[in-house]
Each structure stands twice: as structure tokens, then as C-alpha cells.
Structure 1
Amino acid sequence: MLQNLHVKNLALIDEADVEFGEGLNILSGETGAGKSIIIGSINIALGEKAPKDILRKNAEFALIELTFEIKNKDTIKHLKSLGVEIGDDNLVVISKKIKLNRTVSRINGETVSASKIQEISSFLIDIHGQHEHQSLLNKKKHLQILDEFAKRRITGIKEELSEAFLSYRKLIVERQNANMNSEERNRELSFLEFEVNEIEEANLKENEDEELEEKYRFFSNGKKIIEKLNSVREITNGEIDGVAELLDKAMYDIQFVVNYDEKIQNLTNELSEIESLVNDFNYELSNYISELDFDEHEFYELDSRLNLINTLKAKYGRTISDILESYEEKKKRIQVLQEYDEYINQLEKNINKEKEKLDKLCMELSSIRKEASVELVDKIKAALLDLNFLDVKFEMNFGRTKDYTSDGFDDVEFLISTNPGEPVRPLQDVASGGELSRIMLAIKTIMAQDDDIETLIFDEIDTGISGRTAQMVSEKMDLLSQLHQIICITHLPQIAAMANHHYLIEKSIETDSEKNEMTVSRIHSLNYDQSVKELARMIGGVEITEKVIESAREMKGLAKDKKKSR
């Protein structure tokens, strides 16, 4: 679950530190107080792009830090498989530091990419945004919901189907690109044969270019090499003032001294070794120079060979390996063009074979989906009745797409009727905003029953509802919080009354150390009396009378009784 949220220098928040608890966590406050910033900060930390103006005025950076305590063993296993280091405390800390020119994301102190954060967070938290229920107006969402509901039954076959679809599409594209008349074939064949012959005549060898380039560098600097080596020989073995001549003179002088003082015999021996080394060096150097041969003809052939290789590289690839690979591909293409009719016939057979396989997998997947849809529809209908749909019909219609897709050929759509005697119709033709919110809540509740994700966030799930419906939504939220940690932003007192933990977000004008006024959003954890007072504000608006306070206490008490009875 999300244990802690720390935010600094983000929009209206100078610094906030929130400890969330188990069960139902409610966030409430006046419109514009900054509730959306709290959820927005969580989204940003989990990989969403930060808006340009998100930094608080005059701040050098913003920081968001989320601390999750992982209780589910399967989730820990998944996270470890993704490379997340988790200690004995089972904590995962996700942080994001935002500067003007860059952002840095970390997981348990290790810098990671935004895509990695998103992948990991999908196991930790599910966020239902303010307008997510609008996605139900898109039929593609209906198939996603069904597949999510049936994922344990369809994961294997969907992976197999996806691979089959890619193979099928590859063959279709190959067939489309293969359409050409005899004149086009002959023209391409002639060109390919010329290219193959050009590469064959070059008789290339792997890494040949590297050896030739090394030789070329040596040859192209041949004159300088000779000059420098002769200079070295003159210094070490010159007839006048050469190192060898000077050493010979030194040996003569030191031998004279040895006759009078045997103590320097060791120095004499060392000087003799040096003289011997210099003589050996001069001998080897002279041999090396005598063997040097800068043949102009050989240099010309070397230069020509390198020019040929570089010309082929410009045409067929950056390396000799690339050229040889291109050569093999061209030979295969020549064979295809020479046996074109046979190639087309085989291609058609392969397409039909792959199509049969794909069709079989699509049929199997569709059959599983239809079976799962019966169960899903029944559960959604029951959940909708719990959410004050008095007389509701809910169905899922199965059609077929025009062509195969990586998800099969099912084209599914939710259908609903909320009035007795009226036929079921698509959601976009019937459902209001409030009804869509409740439908989405019903779906989330059903999905959560088998979901390992520990934390669910609902940002104003109560759009367009009130009265008895609001009470039933609050009970559904409370029921959901028995299985998951719920963090919910709401304007409805019925939902807020169910809170296990209640937080108030307020906006105020404060003065800094330089007496500049600034707008600040703050979040506070409320005790019982403070929660009652906030409920009273939500019930009564501007004027909070003693009767409104009493109504808030009663609402809180009824919620407590409902929890106990459950």
C-alpha cells in the first residue's frame, strides 16, 4: 500500500507530508484547494510528464516521493524480477526530482527511466482519473475490460495469437511487395546479377580492410619512417659523437682508473653491459632498415584495393561483413526472381496455412471470451443494482472486425438499458456522466476482487451522483476498501463519512520571510471532531449550523454502524 507521500515545491504546495493508512482514505476540500495537485503529483512520480509550469515560484527544484509497503508476496516476486532491490522491510521508494531542464527518477535510490517506473508502478497502484469513465464510450475499452477480467484464461492463447498475427502480416506484406510484371522482374534481376558479380569479383575477406588500412598508413609515411630511423642510427652509431663511439671512449677511460682503484669494477661491468646493449640495438636497427622496402607499385596496388573496398562499402554496407551479408541476400533474391511463379505459389500456400492457424486461434479466443463475458455481465449487473440502478439490463454484444488483429477478430460492445421496457443500446446512446461513473466503479470493484494491486486511487468517482445513489456508492467504496487500500477524492459527505482516514486540503494566503504574499495548499489529517466539521461543511455549504453539525455526526455514526454490520 501507499504508506507515505512527500511533495515539495510543486505548484501551490511548498511542502506536504502525508501518511496514508489501510482501508478507505478520503481527501476532501473546497473546489480549487489543490486536491488535483495531490493526485497529479502521484501521477508525475509514476512516469507522467511534468507540466512546464509545475515548479513553485522561485524554487530551484520540485521533489515527489512515494513510499510503498508491499505485503503481497507475488508482487514482491514480480518487482524483483524487474530488477527492484527490496529489503527486509518490503519498502519501495519511488522519487522524482524536477528541475527546469531535466528530471531524475529513482527507485530505492537507483536512477531509472520513466518507462521503467511505469512498468513497476503497474504492480503497485491503479489510478482512476476524473474523466476515465469517459473511456467507456470507446468500444476498444470494452474489449480491454473483458480481457482483463479473463486474463488468467486467455494470457497463453493471446501470446500465441499475437505471434501468429505477426507472421501472417509479414507474409501479407511480402505478397503485396511481390507483385511485378515480367519486365520489372527482368530489370531487377539484371541489376542484382551485376551487383553480385561486382562483389564476387572483389573476392573480399573478413577484416581485410583493417589489415590493408594499417599497411597503407605505414606505406604513406614511408619517407618519414626512413628519415627518423636513420636519425636514430646516426645518434646511436655515428662515426663521430655517436653513442657507441662515446661509450667506447668511456670504457677506455674507466679501464684506466680500474688499474688504480678496484672499487669501481662494478661500475666498469655496468658500463660494459650498456655498451653491449647499444651494440645489439645498432645491429638490429641496421638489419630492420636494410629490410625496409617501399615499393611504389605495391603501394599503388594497396591504394587501389582500398579504394575498391570503400566503393563497395558505400554501396552495400559499412563493413565487409555487411557487404557479404548483402551479397547473400541478393543471391536469395535472384533465386526468387528466377523461380518467381514457384515462389508466388509457395507464398500463397504459406499465407493460407498461417491464416488457418490464425483463424483457429481467434475462434478459440472468442469462445473463451464469450464464456467469460456471461460471468462478467452478471457481475456488472449485480454491482449496478448495488449502485442504485433500479431496473437495469446489461449485455455484451459480440461482432467481428473486418480483418484479423493482434487481439483476434472480436468486436465487442457493452449494451445497457436503465428504463423498464426499453431495449438495450450502446453506452454512448444511453448513459449519463453519473451513470458512466457508477458503471466504471462497478467494473473496478469486480476487477479488484482478483487483483494483486494493493492501492486504488479514485479522483472524483462521484461525478453526477447524489442522494441515495451517493450512499450506495459510499457503501461500495467501503466494501472495496476491505480488499484494497483506497485513496479517494470526493465532494460527497456520504462517501467521506465512510473514511477510515480523512484528510482536508486547504488553500490559504501566507507571508514569507521577505513579507511577500503567496498562495499555499496544505493537507491535514483530521481527527473525529475535525472530520465531523468537514462533513458539515460538505452538507451545509457556507452556513454551518448546529443542526448541520448534528447531521454530520449522525452520518458518521450511520457509516460506523454500516461498517460494523458488514
Structure 2
Amino acid sequence: MLTHLTLINFALADHLALDIPPGFNVLTGETGAGKSLLLDALSACLGERTDSNLVRFGTDKADVTATFSYEENSPEAMWITQRELNDNSGEIHLRRVIFATGRSKAWINGRPTSLTELKELGRIIVQLYSQHSQQQLLEPPYPRQWLDRYSDFHLQANTVRQAYQTWQKNIRLHTEALNAQASKLQRIQTLELQLEEIEEVAQYNYLEIEQEFDRLSHHESIMQDCSQSLNILDEDEQNITQELANILRKLESHASRSEQLNEIYSALLNAQSEINDATLSLRQFIDRQSFDPERMEQLNHELAIFHRLARKYRLQPEEIASQGESWQNELLQLQQLEDPESLSAQVDQSYMAFVDAAETLDRMRQEAAMPLAKQLTEQVKTLALPEAYFEFKFERLSEATAEGLSSIQLLFTANKGIPPQPLAKVASGGELSRIALVMQVMNAEKTEAEMIVFDEIDVGISGGTAEIVGRLLSGLAKHVQVLCITHQAQVAAQSDHHLLVQKQQTDPASSCIFALSEEKRIYELARMTGGIEINSTTLEHAKQLRELKFHAK
């Protein structure tokens, strides 16, 4: 549930802090006062797209923070716990900073986050319905989506989609196997010949062979240089080992007299040990070396094969072994490739699994459709459509899809004796807005979100119909927090809390939002019903609207 919203340099808001109580909240104000301010700020915190126009004129950035409370084990609690974003405060703080350059940054509970994560969390905690939502009713998938959402068929629908994807995947594999069958044997034969050709050298390491050949090629100069080095180190009359020993004897007697001399003495002592070890290793290396002309000839032969194969297959010599492994893997895959007949059986099995799941879902949808259409009919009738009637029409598809075996249409008529037709063909704009409103309220009853926002969805209705809409939203607010932006006094009168947005002609202009007391609510309702002139008649009418709220309770 949204508990607090803070706007700093956001659009017309200079610095605005607002507490949002539970229950049914309405936001009203004159046209142009900035009623969209609250909705835009909330949308920014929920990860929706923003631009630099939302930054207050003359400032370099806008800063918006929305605070939500939540219950343990709620979907949002599980979401932030899984991502280690839980700060154990029992609250979720969503912050968005929008820069005048158009860039933005976002945080969840003080930790930087991506807009993708922000939007994902936003969809869990808030459901938003706008005045344009009625256009969704005209989109072909909407009746099926609404039926599934209200009847909680998500798991079954997902099972059907997965079964369809498996079936389509098996069709592709079968097709690929048929296409590959013709060239499979030829490719296997080619790979076997290539592997046979590189078999002689594939087991060797080219770099090691090259290094050994290079060493044998320079054997004479290596031995000459090593012998000279050994003489200088340990065998000449004035060799390095003896000279270093003399130096150490001289410094040893003075090492205790100077800390710096002691460090030098220790360093030379370590060097003596390293030189002795290196001298021993060099002597052993010389003793082990021998020139083997047969081995050199063998290495030369192997290198020649490497270079010939590298030219043939356009590789580096050291890549031949890894290329051989690649060919071997490809050969194994081709040898293990299932034949088209076995894959054809898999296609049939996966198709039957899809059809079985789709038939089950189809029956469930048809069983749920009649009572749902009846419930929708009864709800819409109360909105000045006494002869409204709905039914779902199922038609078998010529080709199955991932969504099932049937197309689903929502049929409607507003007139007695007239058969129902597809909603898009027969519903007027006013009828669509009322139908959309009822469907959204019914959806909201099923949502796991703890807050629902309605943005002027009551456009196109008035009078008694608006009062009924207000009662619908008031009833919904018993289960979730509701925020409704409205121009209808009958809707606003049914709310638990009334927020008023006003524009102030400061320099630059700014908007403020106030929570109204009961007395001030009467004046605002009077303004909404009576216009600029507020007199005793409009005030009395406003009081009567509020009394209807308490009588309804």
C-alpha cells in the first residue's frame, strides 16, 4: 500500500510531501491544476518512461520517492527478499531522479537498480487503469486474457503455451532431420577422411615439438654458451662464486655495526644461495644434454606434416589438434542424430500432449464463460444500461495457436430483442467506457496488488451512473487501496479521503495537493457540481451527496 509520496522539483511541484491513507482516495481539481502530477510521479517511481519535461523549469533534476508498506509473505515481500533488497523496515522505498539532460537513475530501498527491475516490482504492487483502457476491449486477445485473468487460468494457459512450443520445436527438428538426411552420409565420410589424415600428428603438441626441434638445431651453440657460463660462475680461477664468497666474508665482520650494511649482507647471502642453486642446475642441464640426429629428423618430419595440413585446411599449425576435436564432436553428433522416423513419432506425441492440454483449457474456459458473462451483465446493467447483455462466443480455429484451439469473442447488445454482436461493432463510446470500468473493477477484485489507480476512467458518465461507479470503487476499497482521479462529484463523494490539487501563480507557477477536511470537501463537491458560483443550493446538493455515502454504509 502506498503510504507516502515526495516530489522535489517535479513538473509543477516545488517540494511536495503527501501522505496517502488506506481506503478509497480521490484526487480532484480544476482543469490544468495538475491532477496528472501525482500520477506522473507515481509512474516514474514504478519504472515508466520519463523525459526532461518533468524537471521543474530552472532546475537541473527532479527527485521523486514513493514509500509502500507491505505484509510478510506478500508477493512484493518475496520479490525484494529474493534480490536481497529487504531492509527489515516493513517498507519499500522507490526513488527516481530525472535529470534535465533526459537521463534518470533509480533506487529500491537505497540500492541502485535498473528500470527493468523497478518496472517489474511496480507491476506487483500497483495496478494502473487509465481513461484509455477501454481501447483494450477492442483488441482481439482481450476477451480471452480477461477471462483467463478473472478465472485464474494462468497456470493452465502457460501449460498450453509450453506444450505448443514443444510441438513446434519437434516439428523443426523433424524438418531439419529430413533436410540433413541427404547430406548426412557424405558429411560423415568427409569427416572420417579428415580425421584419418590428421591422426598421425593430432596426438602431438605442435608447440612442444617446435621448441624441441629448435633446441636440437642450436645444440652446439647452447652447449658452448652454457659451458662458458658455468666456467665464469664456478670453474675459472676468479669465478663469481669465489668472488662473492670473499665479499661476504669482508662484510660479515661489519654487518653488526650498521643496520644498512646488515641488510646488504643479507641480500648478498640470499644471492649466493640463488647463484649456487642456479650453478648446480646449469651443471645438471649440461650433463643431460646430448645431440640425437635421428630424433631431430623425426621432429622435422612431424613439423612438415603439421605445416602441410595447416596449409590444406587454412589453419595455424597449433590449431590442428583442436580442429580435430571439433571434427570428432561433429562426427559423433551426426552418428547419434535421430532418424526422421523417430522424430516424426516425437512430433505426434507432442501434438497429442498439446491438444490434450488445449482441449482441457478450452472446456474450462467455456464452463467459466457463461457465469462470468452473466456477472458482467448484471454489473453493467446498474450503469444506466438496463437491457445490457453479454455472452462469450467460441469458434474453433482452423490452425491451433499457442493460446489454444478456439478464438474467443465478447458479444454485447444494449437493446432488448437485438442479438448480441462483437463489442467493437455495436458499442458506443459511452457504453465502452462503462463496460471497461466494470471489467477493470472485476479485474481489480482478483489482483494481488495492494493499490489500484484509476485515472479518469469515469469519463463519459454522470448523474446516478457516476454515483454507482463511486459505490463500486468504494466497495473495492474494502479489499485494496484505491486512488481515483475524477471530475465526477458523485464519485468523489463516495470516497474515504479527498485530495485537492491547486495551481498557485508563483514565479514559476507551482501546484500543491491538500487533504481536505469534511467541511472543505463539501465546498469542493459544490464546485464540481455547480461551477464557479457556490451558493446555498450547490452546498446543500454537495451535503446530500456526502449523506448518500454514509447511508450506503
Same fold by TM (over 0.5)? Answer: yes
Matching residue of 1:264: none
Matching residue of 1:427: 423
The amino acid of 1:97's aligned partner reads: V
The answer to whether the 8 A contact 1:239-1:245 is kept is no
Of 468, 485, 489, which residue of structure 2 is paired with 1:489? Answer: 485
1:134 CA drift (Å): 1.0
5+ long unaligned stretches in structure 1? 258-266, 512-517
The amino acid of 1:376's aligned partner reads: L
Give, in whole Å, the separation in 2 of the partners of 1:132 and 1:228.
88
The answer to whether the 8 A contact 2:195-2:327 is kept is no
Give, in whole Å, the separation in 2 of the partners of 1:500 and 1:16.
22
Matching residue of 1:555: 545
* TM-score where L is the length of structure 2: 0.82
Q: Secondary structure at the match of 2:495?
A: coil
The CA deviation string for residues 376-399 of structure 1, in whole angstroms up to 9 with x for no partner, is 112212211233321211111111
Matching residue of 1:261: none
The answer to whether the 8 A contact 1:433-1:463 is kept is no
* 2:519 is equivalent to residue 520 of structure 1: no
- CA pair 130-250 structure 1, distance change in 2 beyond 3 A: same
- CA pair 293-37 structure 1, distance change in 2 beyond 3 A: farther
Give, in whole Å, the separation in 2 of the partners of 1:228 and 1:48.
74
The amino acid of 1:412's aligned partner reads: I
5+ long unaligned stretches in structure 2? 255-263
The answer to whether the 8 A contact 1:28-1:490 is kept is yes
Give, in whole Å, the separation in 1 of the partners of 2:106 and 2:283.
64
- CA pair 348-560 structure 1, distance change in 2 beyond 3 A: same
Q: Secondary structure at the match of 2:469?
A: helix
Matching residue of 1:22: 22
* 2:439 is equivalent to residue 443 of structure 1: yes
- CA pair 187-276 structure 1, distance change in 2 beyond 3 A: closer
- CA pair 142-247 structure 1, distance change in 2 beyond 3 A: same
Q: Secondary structure at the match of 1:506?
A: strand
Give, in whole Å, the separation in 1 of the partners of 2:49 and 2:323.
40
Of 353, 362, 366, which residue of structure 2 is paired with 1:366? Answer: 362
Moved more, 525-534 or 155-164: 155-164
Give, in whole Å, the separation in 2 of the partners of 1:59 and 1:98.
11
Matching residue of 1:381: 377
* 2:210 is equivalent to residue 193 of structure 1: no
Q: Secondary structure at the match of 1:552?
A: helix
Matching residue of 2:279: 282
* 2:41 is equivalent to residue 41 of structure 1: yes
Moved more, 241-250 or 288-297: 288-297
Matching residue of 2:170: 171
Give, in whole Å, the separation in 2 of the partners of 1:353 and 1:378.
39
The answer to whether the 8 A contact 2:412-2:420 is kept is yes
Give, in whole Å, the separation in 1 of the partners of 2:13 and 2:309.
67
Matching residue of 2:124: 123
- CA pair 304-240 structure 1, distance change in 2 beyond 3 A: farther
Of 523, 527, 545, which residue of structure 2 is paired with 1:537? Answer: 527
Give, in whole Å, the separation in 2 of the partners of 1:530 and 1:307.
95
The amino acid of 1:109's aligned partner reads: G
- CA pair 561-350 structure 1, distance change in 2 beyond 3 A: same
The amino acid of 1:438's aligned partner reads: R
The answer to whether the 8 A contact 1:216-1:303 is kept is no
Give, in whole Å, the separation in 1 of the partners of 2:323 and 2:517.
72
The alignment covers a number of residue pairs equal to 535
Give, in whole Å, the separation in 1 of the partners of 2:290 and 2:46.
68
The amino acid of 2:67's aligned partner reads: T
The answer to whether the 8 A contact 2:382-2:465 is kept is no
The CA deviation string for residues 347-395 of structure 1, in whole angstroms up to 9 with x for no partner, is 3332222212211111111111111112211221221123332121111
The answer to whether the 8 A contact 1:9-1:63 is kept is yes
The answer to whether the 8 A contact 1:106-1:112 is kept is yes
Q: Secondary structure at the match of 2:15?
A: strand
- Listed as ranges, the matches of 1:236-385 within 5 Å are 239=236, 243-250=240-247, 275=272, 278-288=275-285, 298=299, 305=306, 324=325, 327-333=328-334, 343-385=339-381
Moved more, 409-418 or 501-510: 501-510
Give, in whole Å, the separation in 2 of the partners of 1:509 and 1:320.
80
Moved more, 95-104 or 128-137: 95-104
Moved more, 140-149 or 400-409: 400-409
Moved more, 377-386 or 230-239: 230-239
1:489 CA drift (Å): 0.4
Moved more, 439-448 or 472-481: 439-448
Give, in whole Å, the separation in 1 of the partners of 2:397 and 2:302.
65
1:90 CA drift (Å): 1.9
1:53 CA drift (Å): 3.4
- CA pair 324-383 structure 1, distance change in 2 beyond 3 A: farther
Give, in whole Å, the separation in 2 of the partners of 1:196 and 1:37.
72
Moved more, 292-301 or 239-248: 292-301
Of 384, 400, 414, which residue of structure 2 is paired with 1:418? Answer: 414
1:425 CA drift (Å): 1.0
The answer to whether the 8 A contact 2:394-2:406 is kept is yes
Give, in whole Å, the separation in 1 of the partners of 2:253 and 2:26.
105
Give, in whole Å, the separation in 2 of the partners of 1:22 and 1:256.
89
- Listed as ranges, the matches of 1:370-409 within 5 Å are 370-409=366-405
The answer to whether the 8 A contact 1:12-1:521 is kept is yes
Matching residue of 2:503: 507
The answer to whether the 8 A contact 2:156-2:361 is kept is yes
1:251 CA drift (Å): 6.1
Q: CA RMSD in A?
A: 4.2
The CA deviation string for residues 206-258 of structure 1, in whole angstroms up to 9 with x for no partner, is 9x99x7668879999999x979999987885595875423224336768999x
- CA pair 401-245 structure 1, distance change in 2 beyond 3 A: same
1:466 CA drift (Å): 1.1
- Listed as ranges, the matches of 1:142-157 within 5 Å are 142-151=143-152, 154-157=153-156
Give, in whole Å, the separation in 2 of the partners of 1:351 and 1:205.
44
The CA deviation string for residues 58-102 of structure 1, in whole angstroms up to 9 with x for no partner, is 433222221111136443553356435435542111222223364
Matching residue of 1:515: none
Give, in whole Å, the separation in 2 of the partners of 1:228 and 1:40.
81
Give, in whole Å, the separation in 2 of the partners of 1:204 and 1:478.
85
The answer to whether the 8 A contact 2:178-2:340 is kept is no
1:407 CA drift (Å): 2.2
Give me the identity figure in percent.
Answer: 26
The CA deviation string for residues 252-293 of structure 1, in whole angstroms up to 9 with x for no partner, is 768999xxxxxxxxx999988875653333222343477689
- CA pair 483-304 structure 1, distance change in 2 beyond 3 A: farther
Matching residue of 2:261: none
1:135 CA drift (Å): 0.2
The CA deviation string for residues 450-487 of structure 1, in whole angstroms up to 9 with x for no partner, is 43321100000112111221111111111111111100
Q: Secondary structure at the match of 2:394?
A: strand
The answer to whether the 8 A contact 2:160-2:354 is kept is yes
Give, in whole Å, the separation in 2 of the partners of 1:489 and 1:243.
94
Q: Secondary structure at the match of 1:123?
A: helix
Q: Secondary structure at the match of 1:510?
A: coil
* TM-score where L is the length of structure 1: 0.81
The answer to whether the 8 A contact 1:379-1:446 is kept is no
Matching residue of 2:113: 112
The answer to whether the 8 A contact 1:8-1:15 is kept is yes
